[in-house]
Amino acid sequence: MSLTPMMKQYLEIKEKHKDSILFFRLGDFYEMFFDDAITASKELEIALTGRDCGQKERAPMCGVPFHSADTYISKLIEKGYKVAICEQVEDPSKSVGLVKRDVVRVITPGTVIDPNMLDEKENNYLCCIYLDQMGYGLAYVDVSTGDFFTTEVEPENSNIIDSLFDELGKIMPKEIICNDFIYSNESVSLKLKQKFECMMNPYHEWVFDFDFAEESIKKHFSVISLDGLGLRDKRYSIIASGTLIEYLRETQKISFYHINKIIQYSSHNYMVLDVNTRRNLELTETIRGKTKKGSLLWVLDNTSTAMGGRLLKKWIEEPLLDKKSIEYRLNIVEYLVDNLMLINDLKTLLKEVYDIERLMSKVIYGTCNARDMIALKDSIEVFPQIKAFLSATNSKELLDISYELDGLEDIHDLIDKSIVDDPPFSVREGGIIKKEYNNEIKSLREASVQGKEWLSQLEEQERIKTGIKNLKIGFNKVFGYFIEVSKGNIKYVPDYFIRKQTLANSERYITPELKEMESKILGAEDKMIALEYQIFVSIRDKIASEVKRIQEASKIIAKIDALNSLALTALNNNYIRPNINTEGLINIKDGKHPVVEKVLEEGLFVPNDTYLNNTDSRVLIITGPNMAGKSTYMRQVALIVLMMQIGSFVPAEEADICIVDRIFTRIGASDDLSQGQSTFMVEMSEVANILNNATKDSLLILDEIGRGTSTYDGLSIAWAVIEHISNPKEIGAKTLFATHYHELTELENKINGIINYKILVQEKGEDIIFLRKIKKGGADRSYGIEVAKLAGVRTDVINRAYEILQDLEKRDESKSEVAISVSKKDTSKNSNIDNSLQLDLFNIKRSKLIDKIKSLEVEKLTPIDAINILYKIREESKEI
């Protein structure tokens, strides 16, 4: 048996889209067949049925209504599937035989444009990576807004993969396409998938060709040279960007001319923040729960528009390095802070602005409706008022913004004159164009109204003629207009009534006169609906042709909103304007952690000072018990510096801060089991990254280095790391170093630039109170048992811990042995166990190990060599 013509058509189209679930349009439904149906029914939790396909067995089938398809598509995209939308591409009423169908768009996680499927204050990036042994090119686009960026790492850069991951950590793409060189590297590709939890697929290798990519870019942007796009000599960026454009062309099936600008940037223009630092500082989401609440973004985001929210998030992800650019933002924030009425006026107006960027993508894709047009009009309506408020200021920066902002009055007037104020959702059912806008629409609408008035008169006439008081004229799409009479009044029906339909409680009739008027009314309405749609498309196309102007105005509105948000946050939290110095100084008086301060009740957060410079106060070694606030303090310093570099006021009484090129953090412990790495290996990898990439202009936040291994190994590593980073000839970076190794406090007297600090604790009998205050000096105790007691550890365990601690302290004084008494309870179990466990510290093997350590030429070792040797020493020590 052969397949039915429709099923043949389905399989031919499916053959071209094997990697997608095919939504095949049949009337008012999208149907799925065979394996797609089985997968979709399971994922969407809808019924799996069957359909005759010309074969012996029915084809598995499931379907979803056309009008609610977006909900189902969204669910599949969230689960990591691609969806190919197959539509009828000709009018069924005019086709002969099988209706032509074709895929009009492939929706993937990175090409979603429906606002209902997106987080309004987050970009949805599709990313293309081109990688070879010498460097990489990275291009990424948010199809829903038209934003397109590209960057590359030049061949001389030796940390290609690290740099790539740093950039990806900033943009967090929803989908990655790449060349086979990176995809076939299992270690890198697996790490990419797991780190960024996104769809990742290799793309046609032949597309990653320089000449092809160059032509692809020229064709899309309608240019004869790439120099004007900032891509001269940017081979990697060109290949990545051209490939990305080709992928969009293949999946979107339209001319996506809202992507009309490509921004080529260098990562050297922004503070470098690796993935670990972004996570540890909780810039845009918390470590636990991955929620916005509890992050720095949560504190700073008082934006009124989705566009402003996305821009503010981007600023946090890309702190500036240029002093002039930072002060530009600070000047505006300061002016707004000093003019509270202006902040409130702007916020009131900005609340009226819809997400114009994403609305315009719907205009370009042809999926917008008349309500979207009204939203655009209402948004633009406040632009002149915003311009007026800004132009009335004496701020040079705000005056410039006012001058740059296009009021878009012509766009507003076009929509205002043409579209009704409260249009229906559908653009194919009429009622969307004002009758005054078009004479033919006016005539047809009047004809329709007159026809319906005639029907009303006819209804009254027939009631009088027949004496049937409840006689009424109705309408449905099957029978058109009809006269309805209840069963009890059928005996009064005249002969010229023609029975058309029998219902349970009534009969429906028609008359020649009624049918004649129906033809006139419906003819007018059909013409009117078709004409209204035609006019709407014409208006949509006019607005689409102005997409660049509208996008540029939207960017300015987003900038105003983001800056207004920073000013409002500063006012609400009593932040101050930081001073920017070029002397390498970080001097903060009464600094606070912006998130912790907001979470606590007012007045409970304990502020602290910070002083770091490039000479006599480069490294602060911070000691004190767990839970005392060391990590909070160090993070607070990093966040204050970062806030300054995005142009924000900061939580402090005074702040004089230099620009830092990178912030590194080594905080917390975690295994990376997928890469076969232990907690300690992860820690050492992060330390190696810091030692290899930090500069004298970096800020290092290091918490408990070395705690993932034995005490002596850990202490040795921590000691060596501090020596290296504090040495101006090696790194000389400003560093906050928290530790429980009290021996490290000796370095203050050995190395210039190292200062000891401690978190103050107040003892009350056997209890302790954390004062959260930091001051110079080293702590002599860790208060670990006291913290365990606060955590609710059993009293008998706490008491035993005190006994062991006293034993250890006594043995430590003798420097000759460590003896821990075994409890009577344990001894009674085995009479052969001695009352103490002796550990000889001076056996032969240990002597050999000590000699080996003494013979090391430390001054010739690199940090990595030192760590490798420590590993070997650690293994040998296990035999002792």
Q: Name the band, by pLDDT with cuts 50, 70 and 90, for residue 36.
A: very high
Strands 579-581 and 654-658: parallel
Contact 500, 482 (CB under 8 A): yes
- pLDDT over 90 (residue 62): yes
- pLDDT over 50 (residue 675): no
| Mean pLDDT value across the chain | 87
Q: Residue with structure tokens 């310093």?
A: 637
Distance CA 253, CA 143 (A): 13
Distance CA 76, CA 40 (A): 8
Please list, in sequence order, all residues whose beta carbon lies within 8 angstroms of the beta carbon of residue 92, skipping any fewer than 6 positions away. 99
Residues of the chain above pLDDT 70, percent:
86
pLDDT tens for 198-257 read: 899 999 999 999 999 999 999 999 999 999 999 999 999 999 999 999 999 999 988 888
pLDDT of residue 189: 85
Phi, psi of 83 (to 5 degrees): -125, 120
C-alpha of 711 from chain center: 40
pLDDT tens for 372-412 read: 999 999 999 999 999 999 999 999 999 999 999 999 999 99
Q: Name the band, by pLDDT with cuts 50, 70 and 90, for residue 519.
A: confident
Contact 167, 157 (CB under 8 A): no
DSSP H helices in 306-428: 306-317, 323-337, 340-350, 356-365, 370-380, 383-391, 396-404, 409-418
Six-digit token string for 101: 């169908």
pLDDT of residue 197: 84
pLDDT tens for 118-168 read: 999 999 999 999 998 888 999 999 999 999 999 998 655 557 888 899 999
536 three-class SS: helix
Contact 283, 296 (CB under 8 A): yes
- pLDDT over 90 (residue 652): yes
Q: Name the band, by pLDDT with cuts 50, 70 and 90, for residue 331.
A: very high
Cβ count within 10 A of residue 47? 9
Contact 473, 459 (CB under 8 A): yes
Strands 654-658 and 586-591: antiparallel
Distance CA 402, CA 390 (A): 6
| Residue of 798 and 411 predicted with greater confidence | 411
Distance CA 580, CA 589 (A): 15
Give the residue from 307, 293, 259, 276 showing the smallest Cα distance to 123. 307
Q: Name the band, by pLDDT with cuts 50, 70 and 90, for residue 452.
A: confident
pLDDT of residue 791: 63
Distance CA 611, CA 775 (A): 11
DSSP H helices in 508-592: 512-544, 547-573
pLDDT of residue 849: 61
pLDDT of residue 838: 33
Cβ count within 10 A of residue 859? 5
Q: Name the band, by pLDDT with cuts 50, 70 and 90, for residue 820.
A: very low
| Residue of 28 and 125 predicted with greater confidence | 125
- pLDDT over 90 (residue 795): no
Instruction: From residue 648, give the alpha-carbon distance in Å to each of 314, 415, 591, 714.
Output: 14, 38, 14, 38
pLDDT of residue 823: 37
- pLDDT over 60 (residue 315): yes
pLDDT of residue 372: 96
pLDDT tens for 596-625 read: 999 988 888 999 999 999 999 999 999 887
pLDDT of residue 186: 85
pTM assigned to the model: 0.85
pLDDT of residue 717: 86
Give the residue from 162, 148, 160 showing the smallest Cα distance to 240. 148
Positive or negative, the Cα torsion across 732, 733, 736, 738? negative
Give the residue from 664, 705, 701 showing the smallest Cα distance to 683. 705
Q: Name the band, by pLDDT with cuts 50, 70 and 90, for residue 112.
A: very high
Q: Name the band, by pLDDT with cuts 50, 70 and 90, for residue 821.
A: very low
pLDDT of residue 147: 96
C-alpha of 400 from chain center: 31
Contact 405, 390 (CB under 8 A): yes
- pLDDT over 50 (residue 841): no
Distance CA 572, CA 576 (A): 11
> What is the average pLDDT across 813-819?
44
Strands 754-764 and 767-776: antiparallel
Distance CA 231, CA 828 (A): 80
Distance CA 85, CA 758 (A): 63
Q: Name the band, by pLDDT with cuts 50, 70 and 90, for residue 92.
A: confident
- pLDDT over 90 (residue 807): no
Q: Residue with structure tokens 């005996």?
A: 491
Positive or negative, the Cα torsion across 495, 497, 502, 503? negative
Q: Please, is 2 exposed, middle or buried when counting C-beta atoms within 10 Å of its C-beta (0-12, 13-18, 19+)?
A: exposed
Q: Please, is 796 exposed, middle or buried when counting C-beta atoms within 10 Å of its C-beta (0-12, 13-18, 19+)?
A: exposed
pLDDT of residue 664: 95
Q: Please, is 716 exposed, middle or buried when counting C-beta atoms within 10 Å of its C-beta (0-12, 13-18, 19+)?
A: buried
38 three-class SS: helix
Q: Name the band, by pLDDT with cuts 50, 70 and 90, for residue 660.
A: very high
Distance CA 670, CA 43 (A): 33
Q: What share of the chain is helix, strand, coil (3-state, %, to 5)?
A: 50, 20, 35
pLDDT of residue 830: 36
Phi, psi of 673 (to 5 degrees): -65, -30
- pLDDT over 60 (residue 370): yes
Q: Residue with structure tokens 């309506």?
A: 381
| Residue of 841 and 875 predicted with greater confidence | 875
3-state SS record for 402-419: HHHCCCCHHHHHHHHHHE
pLDDT of residue 91: 78
> What is the average pLDDT across 786-806?
67
| Residue of 76 and 832 predicted with greater confidence | 76
pLDDT of residue 854: 57
Q: Name the band, by pLDDT with cuts 50, 70 and 90, for residue 499.
A: very high
pLDDT of residue 822: 35
> What is the average pLDDT across 559-568?
98
The residues that bridge with 9 in the sheet, in sequence order, are: none
- pLDDT over 60 (residue 281): yes
